[in-house]
Amino acid sequence: MASVVSTASRKVFSNATSRLSLLTSVSSREKSSNEGKRRRDLINHSRVRGIDILRNPKLNKGTAFTVKERQLMGIHGLIPPVVRTMEEQTVRVLTNFRKRSSDLDRFIYLISLQDRNERLFYKVLSENVEDMMPIVYTPTVGQACEHYGIVFRRPRGLFISINDRGHIYDILCNWPERNVKAIVVTDGERILGLGDLGVYGMGIPVGKLSLYTALGGIHPAKCLPILLDVGTNNKKLHSDPLYIGRQENRVTGPEYDDFVDEFMHAVQRRYGSTCLIQFEDFGNHNAFRFLEKYRNKFCTFNDDIQGTAAVAAAGVFASLRITKKKLIDNVFLFQGAGEANIGIAQLLSLAMQEEGATEAEAISKIWMVDSRGLLTKERPSGGISGHKADFAKDFKHMNNLEEIVEELKPSAIIGAAAVAGAFTEKVIKSMGKYNERPIIFALSNPTSKAECSAEDAYTLTEGRCVFASGSPFPSFTINGKTLYPGQGNNAYIFPGVALGVITCGVRHVPDLLFLRAAQRLAELVTDEHLAEGRVYPPLSDIQEVSLNIAVDLAEYCYTNGLASAYPEPDDKEEYVKSFMYTSEYEIFEPETWEWPDKA
Ligand SMILES: NC(=O)C1=CN([C@@H]2O[C@H](COP(=O)(O)OP(=O)(O)OC[C@H]3O[C@@H](n4cnc5c(N)ncnc54)[C@H](OP(=O)(O)O)[C@@H]3O)[C@@H](O)[C@H]2O)C=CC1
Ligand SMILES: CC(=O)C(=O)O
Ligand SMILES: [Mg+2]
């Protein structure tokens, strides 16, 4: 069965800690539940006939319709006479995909496939994660957002404008799916490291939710991408004739807050209190505020703060097995003190405290640099706002990263400031000078914003550094050894967290769930991975990672009273799997189904 998570390419983790039998084929419960789903789908769509079937990406199988199906559904002659298997179609898709001359063309090709034949799209994406994730996700999705005016083909998801205030619930009711369980929402203000792209940022919720399905096995009908259009402060977009949103400055202040508030309550009213709302790529000043405001009232999390924290912490935990240090024995230097890095710093601090350190001890190991230099209590440029204040030190003011590294001699440097090339030759060499195995994470996205390349990090430390990056870098061979840079991207976290949260009916998502996800992800890194320089399992294993995280969180949620889905299942793995999407085609033949009006 071609389940998104049960592809033939599955491997068993050699790590003994991987307690899931990943070669297990689809369980009988899953099978019966999938049969049920297929039948329900058919009944729901039973009025669709003829050409409308081919125009419906959820039903369309293209040349894979059998002759019987073609006759039964009134589509005979509307497609070429040949009948292909899904596997044969996959070969055609891959040939087409590889023939495209640029990554942006590959992006357009894949979203067109998604618009045409959803199951085939998810099959090829889930079976070719290493090749296709860099297209539907970072870095290419960044390029697609920048050029969304020409990339845009068919709308996907909901566009809710500030002009729609008072009617957001009605707009949600226009969405054809009733059982939405996961929303990724952005207002487009901080799209990757590319800045304010306004409505063009819609590529991000769409891309993230494609990964919900391809990596987390969450049914696409349960996923809803949403763009909140409050305008954009990007002046170029104000005069862009192709722009598809409000060509005015952003609405801010109480009007904006009320709009977001109405949105949150409308979602809860329409889809219930266990519908997960993932905040994505909001501007810094709003991201933290909304997280605080909504985290205990809604089922929500901020991926840039909490998801990134978990993936980076997991990378650090795995790195410690290489550096042979305890977490508390490190000195962390963060380049950037925004959503990503503050989230990581907070989670690492929590992890140190879980291991017995006091809060003060933990914080003393964490240094941060923002656009005004080292975070110190006294700075010529004035006060320090928000969460940054927790990490400010009694120390002299410094604002040159190279000098800061020389002064502090950190064991780990983590960049998330979208300042391309911030890890200069001198910074990297200093890291190599003071550490046998320096930890260097260049987390900014897309690739054009990375603090340094994998090649630079490896070359300038003679292959000694432990490297990870937000967007993928190719492997690099040095001193006869091939090293595989880890992709320190929240894509290792949010699909699994979402799957766990949704299946258990969690109402609030505490930080401890992210710490738990980080620990689980780190456990899945084997000694063989580490020997290859990886601090994450390879991307080809990412679906198993998501499942592991989801099952682990399910255990945790039921034990700690966070789950609302009852009765509690005995076998959490079977339970989680029973919810998962299969990209296998539905069968529209009388042997398995009869038209309801003839039944
Ligand atoms: N790998 C991953 O999974 C993720 C990666 N990211 C990436 O991280 C980057 C930052 O995102 P995010 O944290 O949300 O953005 P924010 O806007 O919240 O934070 C950016 C931070 O960078 C600081 N900064 C800006 N210029 C400099 C400079 N010259 N020197 C030092 N610091 C500087 C800012 O300083 P100030 O506070 O003074 O303005 C701010 O603290 C983006 O490229 C994003 O794509 C984000 C989420 C996940
Ligand atoms: C990966 C991600 O969420 C970001 O760069 O914003
Ligand atoms: Mg993001």
- Nearest ligand 1 atom to the CA of 311 is 3
Report which protein residue has its CA nearest ligand 2's atom 5.
192
For residue 407, the CA-to-ligand 3 centroid distance in Å is 32
For residue 591, the CA-to-ligand 2 centroid distance in Å is 47
What string of pLDDT tens digits covers the 599 residues of the chain?
334 433 333 332 333 233 332 222 233 333 444 444 454 445 445 567 899 999 999 999 999 999 989 988 999 999 999 999 999 999 999 999 999 999 999 999 999 999 999 999 999 999 999 999 999 999 999 999 999 999 988 889 999 999 999 999 999 999 999 999 999 999 999 999 999 999 999 999 999 999 999 999 999 999 999 999 999 999 999 999 999 999 999 999 999 999 999 999 999 999 999 999 999 999 999 999 999 999 999 999 999 999 999 999 999 999 999 999 999 999 999 999 999 999 999 999 999 999 999 999 999 999 999 999 999 998 877 778 789 999 999 999 999 999 999 999 999 999 999 999 999 999 999 999 999 999 999 999 999 999 999 999 999 999 999 999 999 999 999 999 999 999 999 999 999 999 999 999 999 999 999 999 999 999 999 999 999 999 999 999 999 999 999 999 999 999 999 999 999 999 999 999 999 999 999 888 765 555 444 43
**Binding residue per annotation — 489?**
yes
Dihedral over Cα of 448, 449, 454, 455: its sign: positive
- Cβ–Cβ < 8 Å for 544, 10: yes
Sketch out the chain's domains with CATH numbers. Answer: 2-83 (no CATH), 87-298 (3.40.50.10380), 303-568 (3.40.50.720)
Query: Is 256 annotated in the active site?
Result: no
**Binding residue per annotation — 40?**
no
For residue 373, the CA-to-ligand 1 centroid distance in Å is 13
- Nearest ligand 1 atom to the CA of 488 is 1
Report which protein residue has its CA nearest ligand 2's atom 3.
304
For residue 67, the CA-to-ligand 1 centroid distance in Å is 55
Report which protein residue has its CA nearest ligand 2's atom 6.
192
For residue 335, the CA-to-ligand 1 centroid distance in Å is 8
Give residues (CB < 6 A) around ligand 2: 138, 192, 281, 303-304, 445, 470, 489-490
- Identify the H or E element spanning 268: helix 253-271
Ligand 2 site-directed mutation target among 133, 196, 281, 311, most atoms within 8 Å of CB: 281
**Binding residue per annotation — 190?**
yes
Ligand 1 site-directed mutation target among 138, 278, 281, 339, most atoms within 8 Å of CB: 339
Backbone φ and ψ for 354, nearest 5 degrees, come out as -60, -30
Return the structure tokens found at 173: 């009711």
**Binding residue per annotation — 359?**
no
554 CB-near residues (< 8 Å, 6+ apart): 500, 503, 504, 563, 569, 572, 575, 576
Dihedral over Cα of 549, 553, 554, 559: its sign: positive
Is the CB–ligand 1 distance for residue 416 below 6 Å?
Answer: yes
**Binding residue per annotation — 96?**
no
- Cβ–Cβ < 8 Å for 398, 407: yes
Query: Is 208 annotated in the active site?
Result: yes
Instruction: Write out the DSSP string of 460-512.
Output: HTTT--EEEESS----EEETTEEE--EE--GGGTHHHHHHHHHHHT-SS--HH
pTM above 0.90, yes or no: yes
Is the CB–ligand 1 distance for residue 387 below 6 Å?
Answer: no
